[in-house]
Structure 1
Amino acid sequence: MADDVDRGPVLVLLHGLAGTSGVWAGLIAELAERWPGTPVAPDLPGHGRSAPLDRYSFGGIAARVAADLDPTRPAVVLGHSLGGVVALALASGWFGVPVTAAVCLGVKVSWSPDDLAKAAALAGKPPKTFENRENAASWARKLAGLPADFADSVTLGPSGWRAALDPRAFAVGRPDLPGLLAAARCPVTLAAGERDPMSPAEHLRALTPHPVILPGLGHNAHVEDPAALWPLLERVL
């Protein structure tokens, strides 16, 4: 690990709501000969193998992520969707992580009352269970908006198979993006796929004049074409 510290900042990869660290497998492989260090891709609280929180908030999630990072080592944070908001929270310096750059991909800017109501409804329901793993995996992919051929995380409980997700995480709410951007102590890049319905370019331009738009890609651009994200990281390395 000492060699990694000498070679460059740690790269922290934060997945989106209902996803897991597995969404970064393609990008990690792409970075094998490019990033001067070891990428770190945790499961966010209540996702995958990570323990849940009593109450979900962006600050609470950021604090849990920060607790597992070396506070003496500079970090570049790349977050997708929910992970992008957490990246902004970490960029504030409030959680003791020396973030040198934050890249936020596919962050949802505009939230309607209907969006918030649907999220609250999902958060209030018990986990949906299935008799077989395949159906549970299909539901997990639907929750995260992942491609049909993606093998995301599921778990087997007393009632059957279910997505490896605490549904209460959907209650995290609407982020204060202008406030988080104002609090950031490092350069921030806002980016999205050209075809991302959750993070259209015109919404991002309300926050920054020059967002990075990835041609031909959708909300999960990092899964669709991991190589397309390298220019975002190369510019902050």
Structure 2
Amino acid sequence: MDTLNMRTGGEGEPAVLLLHGLGATGAVWAHFTPPLPRRVLVPDLPGHGPSSPLPHYSFETLTAAVARALPGKGPYVVAGHSLGGVLALELASGKYDVEVAGVLALGVKVEWSQDDLGRAASFAAKPPRVFETREDAEQAYLKVSGLLGIAPADPAGLRETEGGWRLAMDPAAFGVGAPDMPALLAAARCPVVLAAGEDDPMSRPEQLRALDPDAVTLAGLGHNAHVEDPAAVRALLERFGV
């Protein structure tokens, strides 16, 4: 049976569900959550941190695993970063018997070239790389998660193994492919806010505005805006009464 590591805390409804991006763990929300006047749930996605891997990774299988781990049917306000933003939109489709009151999708990569998809598929097909030292593995974790220079490595994102250290994440998770954002947005049964940092190289504000003219640009921030300036991203949740 699959298990999903879930951090919980706080009180107040609707609860807030926070979904991290590919390669990271729920620890990226550590400085985001304390001021929230709500019950907060922060999972490590399947194949990340101590959470179980999946036999096959897709936006649907990842979302289904999150839905199974939730302590109730909602309502939830869901904020997701990058991959987590795609899962937040998928969860809002109503297909998972979970009520979603609002979605904040932050830093979602919406345009994928064949080279992008090829690199992701190549990474997904490789076995986990083993590093001689923990420090080398920490650097690799920070690079994969886009956190180099803005956050420390989460110890739960590393695993000691024969011959050294590896990332805890399952490389196969990189094989999810590109999201169909127009379809996801059309299927969402709740208000949605799209946002990206002004300097996000993966999720360009103009690309988001092509999908939604009201997409938010966060001045001076990059791909991990929720880590760089938690308050700026947290303010967007006020649109959902949080």
**TM-score category of the 2 structures, normalised to the smaller one:** over 0.9
Q: How does 1:1-237 map to 2 (within 5 A)?
A: 4=11, 7-29=12-34, 31=35, 35-148=36-149, 149-152=151-154, 153-237=157-241
1:170 maps to a residue whose letter is F
C-alpha deviation, 1:72, in angstroms: 3.4
Of the structure 1 ranges 65-74 and 160-169, higher mean CA displacement relative to structure 2 is found in: 65-74
Structure 1 runs of 4+ aligned residues shifted over 3 Å read none
Contact in 1 for aligned 2:13/2:39 (Cα 8 Å): no
Whether the aligned pair in 2 keeps the contact of 1:77 and 1:101 (CA below 8 Å) is yes
Gaps of 5+ in 1: none
SS of equivalent residue, structure 2 residue 78: strand
Q: TM-score, normalised by structure 1?
A: 0.94
8 Å CA contact retained: 1:71, 1:98: no
Looking at structure 2, the residues matched to 157 and 172 of structure 1 have their Cα atoms a distance apart, in angstroms, of 26
Is the contact made by 2:141 and 2:153 (CA closer than 8 Å) also made in structure 1? no
For residues 87 and 114 of structure 1, the distance between their equivalents in structure 2, rounded to whole angstroms, comes to 26
Mapped contact 1:194–1:213 kept (Cα < 8 A): yes
Could you say what secondary structure the match of 1:206 adopts?
helix
1:103-158 Cα deviation digits (max 9, x unpaired):
00000010000000000110011111112111101001111111335222211122
Gaps of 5+ in 2: 1-7
Output the amino acid matched with 2:26. S
Answer whether contact 2:82 2:106 (CA < 8 A) is retained.
Answer: yes
What is the root-mean-square deviation of aligned Cα atoms in Å? 1.4
Q: Which amino acid aligns with 2:208?
A: L
Normalised TM-score (structure 2): 0.92
